[in-house]
């Protein structure tokens, strides 16, 4: 057995094994009820990095009574599938929501089970993803030439043994119209010994291959994790990060800034901060949207643009991701745009003169109409063109 397999098989899965919890039998009984609904998994590597109760790693993986509160609440529409993924599954365990890409689940196990997981309904329950669902998923992609990008995610694709993973990647690479393969994984940050030189040698045969790595707190970045990320980067795999904004874990500017800086240092480009989804059993992790906007505002300008991820809401009801930005335009007109910078100071940017805009419009008539069509605009006056351009910025 390899080290990572031993760490997985040594996972904490029962209430009595949980670190730093009260001995009170009533409390333990409550946690037992939670664990019957949402399973527990903390692999032995990750468990070894937890320093105390309530530390940011502990909070992400140790169940609390609050997880069952949502079942009793009548206030909010918390759901087991808030993103309506099941609705957008043409075949089991494949989500086709956006026109040119799909999400394929090749596994429904993870190196840890995150208490805030948006797929709490699936992760850790045996028998959901099978050889049959997998081959139906691959067949679906092969039959849909519009699909040029697949992300394998949630459960973790890197928990699949090398040989099986290679078989799946080979089958995907045989699909001529499939350009990009992405891995959505929490393995490098929570089970880093899994990123072996042998795995990386195998993965690099399937380029263009990208990986989105899930990190939520700077304490997750250990020497073992740095080694794992370096191995993936050295295999030519572009690395991006995904972070979920979590109350009590990373809802502060200092924590997020440190995380983004540490990610960049190991060649992981901060890609997304997600507003926590409205998933049943996770309400206690949700922050306000203002918290996220304030963090983003504090990052913008105070650290390099490379360290500023997109802040997004994955819209409840299955509308897809929407980017959120702090307001930077104070006002705009045909004459000028007034913006505010990262220090809150305002600056004026004069627009080109009316004459210059008219000349530009005349010279580019053909091009402008093409762009308007692309943007779905039918504006035919200079005024409308200007307003549309601002709206679409």
* 181 burial type by CB count under 10 A (0-12 exposed, 13-18 middle, 19+ buried): buried
For ligand SF4, give the closer residue by CB, 123 or 151: 123
Q: Is residue 114 near ligand SF4 by the rule CB under 6 A?
A: yes
Contacts of 248 (CB under 8 A, 6+ apart): 54, 56, 59, 285
Provide, rounded to whole angstroms, the least separation between the CB of residue 379 and ligand SF4.
Answer: 43
Reply yes or no on whether 364 is catalytic.
Answer: no
Provide, rounded to whole angstroms, the least separation between the CB of residue 322 and ligand SF4.
Answer: 20
| Catalytic residue (choose from 59, 119, 121, 286) | 119
Q: Which of 17, 18, 186 is nearest to 116 (CA)?
A: 186
Provide, rounded to whole angstroms, the least separation between the CB of residue 4 and ligand SF4.
Answer: 15
Q: Which of 57, 12, 59, 70 is nearest to 39 (CA)?
A: 12
Site string for ligand SF4, 193-212 (x = CB under 6 A): --------------------
Reply yes or no on whether 55 is catalytic.
Answer: no
Spatial contact of 241 and 213, defined as CB atoms under 8 Å apart: yes
Q: Is residue 117 near ligand SF4 by the rule CB under 6 A?
A: yes
For ligand SF4, give the closer residue by CB, 273 or 298: 273
Provide, rounded to whole angstroms, the least separation between the CB of residue 39 and ligand SF4.
Answer: 10
* 239 burial type by CB count under 10 A (0-12 exposed, 13-18 middle, 19+ buried): buried
**Interface region with ligand SF4, contact rule CB under 6 A, candidates 98-106, 115-123, 200-208, 384-392:** 115-123
Alpha carbons 314 and 47: distance in angstroms, whole number: 30
**Interface region with ligand SF4, contact rule CB under 6 A, candidates 114-122, 174-182, 250-258, 266-274:** 114-122
SS (H, E, C) 260-306: HHHHHHCCEEEEEEEECCCECCCHHHCCCHHHHHHHHHHHECCECHH
Q: Which of 82, 154, 188, 192 binds ligand SF4 (CB under 6 A)?
A: 154
Q: Is residue 119 near ligand SF4 by the rule CB under 6 A?
A: yes
Which residues make beta-bridge pairs with 79?
Answer: 279
Interaction site with ligand SF4 (CB under 6 A): 110, 113-114, 117, 119, 123, 154, 156, 186, 214
């Amino acid at each position: 057995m390899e080290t990572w397999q031993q760490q997985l098989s040594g996972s904490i899965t029962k209430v009595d094994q949980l670190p730093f919890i009260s001995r009170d039998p009533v409390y333990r009984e409550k946690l037992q009820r939670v664990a019957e609904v949402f399973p527990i998994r903390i692999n032995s590597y990750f468990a070894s990095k937890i320093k105390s109760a309530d530390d940011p790693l502990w909070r992400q993986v140790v169940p609390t009574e609050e997880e069952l509160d949502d079942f009793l609440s009548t206030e909010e529409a918390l759901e087991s599938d808030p993103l309506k993924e099941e609705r957008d599954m043409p075949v089991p365990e494949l989500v086709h929501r956006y026109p040119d890409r799909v999400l394929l689940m090749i596994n429904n196990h993870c190196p840890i089970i995150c208490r805030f997981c948006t797929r709490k309904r699936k992760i850790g329950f045996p028998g959901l993803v099978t050889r049959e669902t997998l081959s139906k998923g691959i067949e679906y992609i092969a039959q849909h030439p519009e699909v040029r990008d697949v992300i394998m995610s949630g459960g973790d694709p890197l928990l699949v043994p090398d040989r099986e993973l290679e078989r799946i990647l080979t089958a995907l690479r045989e699909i001529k119209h499939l350009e990009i393969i992405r891995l959505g994984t929490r393995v490098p940050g929570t089970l880093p010994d899994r990123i072996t030189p042998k795995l990386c040698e195998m993965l690099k045969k399937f380029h263009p291959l990208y990986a989105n790595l899930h990190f939520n707190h700077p304490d997750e970045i250990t020497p073992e994790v740095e080694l794992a990320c370096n191995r993936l980067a050295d295999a030519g795999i572009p690395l991006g990060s995904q972070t979920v904004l979590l109350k009590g874990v990373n809802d502060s500017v200092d924590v997020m800034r440190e995380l983004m800086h540490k990610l960049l240092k190991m060649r992981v480009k901060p890609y997304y901060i997600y507003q926590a989804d409205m998933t049943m059993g996770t309400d206690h992790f949700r922050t306000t949207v203002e918290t996220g906007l304030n963090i983003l505002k504090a990052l913008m300008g105070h650290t390099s643009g490379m360290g500023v991820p997109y802040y997004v809401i994955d819209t409840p009801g299955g509308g897809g991701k929407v980017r959120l930005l702090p307001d930077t335009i104070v006002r705009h007109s045909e004459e000028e745009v007034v913006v505010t910078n990262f220090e809150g100071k305002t600056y004026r940017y004069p627009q080109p003169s009316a004459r210059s805009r008219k000349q530009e419009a005349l010279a580019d008539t053909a091009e402008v109409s093409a762009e308007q069509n692309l943007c779905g605009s039918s504006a035919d006056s200079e005024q409308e063109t200007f307003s549309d351009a601002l709206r679409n910025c």
